[in-house]
Each structure stands twice: as C-alpha cells, then as structure tokens.
Chains A and B, each alone.
Chain A
Amino acid sequence: MAYKPSQRRSIETLPTEPNLTPIMNLMVVLIPLLLSSAEFVKLGAIELNLPPVVGPLVEPGALPVEGTKHLELSIFITKDSFVINSNISTEFERIKLKQSLSDLQEHLYEIKTYIPPYFREKESITIQASAGIKYQKLIDVIESVRVIKIKNEEIELFPDVKLSAGVL
C-alpha cells in the first residue's frame, strides 16, 4: 500500500517560457515570401450576361409591347475603325469613326440624347470585334460606352454591354 503524500510538502514550480525564436524565424521568412510573390492590384469586374443556350430568349414579361421599338445599337471594332450601327434613324444608321475613344463617346452621347421615348432597352449595346483585336482594346471600348465624363460629371451612356458571339 502506497503512502499518501504529505500535504505539507510543496513543490516549487519554476516559470518556464516557450522558446519563440524558431517561430519568429518562420514568420520573418513567410511574410516577405508572401509579399514578394504577390502584386498589389485592385481588381474590378465587368459583368456580362450571356443568353442561355436552351430555352426562350425572351422572358415572358419582356414580350413586345405595341407602340414600342427595340433599340438595336451595336459597335463593330475593326483594326482601324469603329462602326456604330443603330435603328434609331437614318442619321445614325451607320457611323464610321477613326479609332478614337473620345469620338466614339461623343457620338454615343449624341445618340443617347436623341433616342425617342418609344424605344425600349435604351441602355443596352452590343459589341463585336474582328479577329486580331486585343482584349485590352475591347475593355477600353466597353469602359468608354458605359460612362462619359462631361465637366467632371459622369453621365451614364449604355451600361448594359453585350458581346456578340460572332467574330468579324
């Protein structure tokens, strides 16, 4: 039979500190590694909705309404020009511009202010480009057709951008 330990006896426990130096070394290596392998870039996103492959293209609520007309506005990006096509009037039926984004914006602003009230979907535009056009140019055009800046004031042009599936 074991004796019961004396209750009077007390063992002094020495305070021990964990050795943090190896963890510190790890941190010192990890943080610069993460920082150097990354680039500080703030990302943005351009939202595009594709029509479903199967099923109706027109939603039940969006059936043609009598007395209204569907706006068909499109931009074709070729290697040396922008071509704006629309069904608003003969004046804006086909406009060919040199590749200047500010010119494009001005013409689109003119079209935006001219659109008669009986047109539906006044904010949508379709963009099509020819093969060989770089993605950056497409993004520049998308950015330009959404908003125009006039006297430090942003005016919305055609924010609902659609990309045509075809290639010129």
Chain B
Amino acid sequence: MAFKPSKRKKHNIDRVEAKLSLNSMMDIFIIILLFLLKTYSAHGSFLPQNKNLQLPTAAIRNHVNVGLELVATSETIFVEKQPVVRMQDVNLEKSHVVADGIILPLFRVLHTYAIKANKLEKTYGIKFTGSIVIKADKNLDYRELVRVMQTCGKAKYHNIHLAVANK
C-alpha cells in the first residue's frame, strides 16, 4: 500500500516552464498590417466611413487611376484630403467663391498643383497627365458637379475619372 504524500514536505519536482512562442504570430500580424496599410494608401479599395460621402454605385470594372484626388461631399470639397471650400458657399454662389461657373478657391488649389506638376515634368521628366479622380457623394447636385468639373478643366486637369463603388 502506497503512503499518502506529505502535505507539509516540499516536493522538488522540476516543472518545465511552458512558453508561448510569439514569433510566427508576429510574422502573420506584420504581413496583415503591411497589406492593410498598402491597400489603404495606394489602391483606394478601402474607403473611410463617412456619412457625407457615399459613392454612387455602378457595375463598372475600370480601375481608378492614380491621380490627384478630389473629394466632394455634401458639406465640403477636399483636394488631397485638405478642405478647400464649403459646399454651402458654393450653393449660395458667393461672389468670392463662384465666378463664371468656376469655384475660385478650388481653382487656386488645383492651379497650384498643376504648376507643381509642370515643374516636376520639366525637372525630372515625370509627365503631367492632368488626371484627377473625383469622389463625389451620390446625392450631389448636377449643377455642383458641373462646376467642379469645369474648375478642374480650367486648372488643366482634363483627364477626369469619376469614382464609383462597384455593384
């Protein structure tokens, strides 16, 4: 008959400390993170959630070309994520905002980008294609859209791409 082990006495049992190896998990996370960051910045497959910017839907499979990004929400017009003009001022056709169908603050910003792009073309040979991607809210009025496009055209951005969400 076996004796009952003493409760007082310390039994020197060598317990091996189990360690969780995090290396492989780290690799997975780094790959996912890099993938997410790259897709977010370059391709534009992801869109930041915004109530004021809901793209129209269409079954068009053409890819969005990389170009200057213009976002027209129901509240503000942004160029390269920088706010340029409030849509309310455009709607009210204030004299310092709209003249001859051109949105003046937007024209100034686009013109600056065009000058920079022309300089780059002269200095480094990077061709200025005049391409611009317009991401506009689906409830935007046709009049505002035409104004935005006219302004783009006047600032030498003739190659316009209207971004749509695929159905």
Report A's interface with B, CB cutoff 8 A: 20-21, 23-24, 27-28, 30-31, 34-35, 37-53, 77, 129-136, 138-140, 142-143, 163, 165-167
Contact = CB atoms under 8 A, between A and B. Distances in A.
Contacts of B166: 41-44
B164 A134 contact: no
Interface of B: 22-23, 25-26, 29-30, 32-33, 36-37, 40, 44-49, 55-65, 101, 133, 136-143, 145-146, 149-150, 152-154, 156, 158-166
A45 B163 contact: yes
A50 B46 CA distance: 28
B154 A45 contact: no
B8 to A, nearest CB: 36
B142 A46 contact: no
23 contacts: A27-B29, A31-B29, A34-B40, A38-B46, A41-B166, A43-B47, A43-B164, A44-B58, A44-B60, A44-B64, A46-B58, A48-B149, A50-B158, A52-B156, A53-B154, A77-B142, A132-B143, A134-B138, A135-B56, A136-B138, A139-B56, A142-B58, A163-B149
Interface of B: prevailing SS: mixed
Interface of A: prevailing SS: mixed
Counting chain B CB atoms within 10 Å of each CB, the highest count among A28, A49, A130 belongs to A49
Given A31-B29, A43-B166, A46-B60, 4 more contacts: A31-B33, A43-B163, A139-B58, A165-B150
Nearest to B26: A20
A20 B119 CA distance: 47
Contacts of A23: 26
A130 B156 CA distance: 26
Given A34-B36, A165-B150, A47 B145 contact: no
A165 B152 CA distance: 12
Nearest to B138: A136
Contacts of B165: 41-44
A46 B162 contact: yes
Contacts of B137: 135
